[in-house]
Amino acid sequence: MNKQLHKRFTDDQIKLLMDLYLRRAIGLQQVLQQLECTEGRFYQILRAYKRTPEKFTIAYARHHSQHRLPEEVEKAIRTQLEIDRQLIGDKKVPLWQYNYAAVRDELRRLGYEVSAQTVRNRAREWGYWIPRDRTEKAIPREVVTEAAGMLLQHDSSTHKWSPYTEERWTLITTLEDYSRYLLYADFVYPETTWAHIKAVESVVLNYGVGLTYYVDSHRIFRFVCHGDSFWRKESKKTDEVLTQWETVVGKCGMQAWHALSAEGKGKVERPYRWLQDRIVRRCARENVRYIDQARPILRQELHRYNEEQVHSTTLEIPGIRLRNAIEEGKSFFKPFQLPPGYESTKDIFCLHWLRKVNGYNQISWKGQIILVPVSLPQGTEIELHEVPDDDHTELRLCYKGQVLKTVHYKN
């Protein structure tokens, strides 16, 4: 049997191999042959090296400690595992497996320093364990883009995020494919087209305009014709009509692609599972009842995902990978610019309608008659930009890129 790594290699030799691998000078199989270790052990060493390259060492010190944890810690572990068991048993809560790393993190918040392996060992010993279904189809995990901003995966997930509320909130997120960085994440209730438009606005104004948005065929993202029937004749076919969301994406200078299967949305589903798993558990432990109580938890877990955890596919922290890509010029993000004639982002990030001027130089909107301030021929099409708000709606009448008039209505 081969000796342990720290007895066969010096720290400098290991560092050299890690550096060559990261620079793609050598491949995975070459490294494994040199180290004579398993793939899992290699990635463990690689993560440790990337966290602190200057302090990295392969040597380790043996710590002689008691075989049993203090009774107080044992009791705390069992309490947290029991909470998980009850959540998994609640069919209304979207949890189906134990998460020992999440239990470890909760114990740390309570002041108990234990490892996930210790939690896992106790869970098996006490029966807090569910065998995983090995027949479940694997989710694609490869990175398909070569630079940041090429592909933005946008989706939503509606669940009962806390056992203490009867409402089903929707989590809207946008994932940058190359870095796996979550550009946007927020809870909304209810899910609306306007909420998804505000998500696009946040991404574009904070990060820039990318190339493509990748979404499913939800009615908010895509017009789908279901075919003619005896009772109904469809005048427009699938994709012949742009949805409001697609219109906004197009006006920003991006394309919208639609996944035709659940497998096609695999990469964005993985962060959803991670966030869902953590957020539901924390909402339960912190007795969350309202959506505003859940948002701080979402922000904390979002920061952990983006800035603290090494992603299992890229083997990098998403935030660092995104910033490095931008600094190295491997980015398709470009600053957002208003089209000529427009004065405000409200004329892009809004609901777009077309109205024809009648013989009295007026247009109608939801039963309201609005006078056009300039004289136009009957039948002329006016762009109507609707900007909803909590207590009022702003309407902006535009013609040939110029705002003619602004009207406000109370909701």
Residue 269 CA to its chain's centroid (Å): 8
Shared domain check, 165 and 230: yes
pLDDT number for residue 39: 86
Look at residue 138 and tell me if it is in a domain. no
pLDDT number for residue 59: 74
Look at residue 120 and tell me if it is in a domain. yes
Shared domain check, 50 and 75: no
Shared domain check, 185 and 297: yes
CATH of the domain at 260: 3.30.420.10
Shared domain check, 247 and 116: no
Regions of the chain with pLDDT less than 50:
1, 61-66, 228-232
pLDDT number for residue 407: 93
Look at residue 142 and tell me if it is in a domain. no
pLDDT number for residue 32: 87
Shared domain check, 278 and 219: yes
Q: How far apart are CA 31 and CA 20, in angstroms?
A: 9
Shared domain check, 85 and 17: no
Look at residue 333 and tell me if it is in a domain. no
pLDDT number for residue 246: 95
Shared domain check, 51 and 76: no
Shared domain check, 105 and 25: no
Shared domain check, 319 and 188: yes
Look at residue 339 and tell me if it is in a domain. no
Domain that holds residue 323: 151-327
Look at residue 145 and tell me if it is in a domain. no
Q: How far apart are CA 252 and CA 339, in angstroms?
A: 9
Shared domain check, 108 and 156: no
Q: How many domains does the chain have?
A: 4
Look at residue 135 and tell me if it is in a domain. no
Shared domain check, 188 and 306: yes
268-291 burial code (b ≥16 CB/10 A, e <16): bbbbbebbbbbbbbbbbbeebeeb
Look at residue 340 and tell me if it is in a domain. no
pLDDT number for residue 230: 46
Shared domain check, 403 and 369: yes
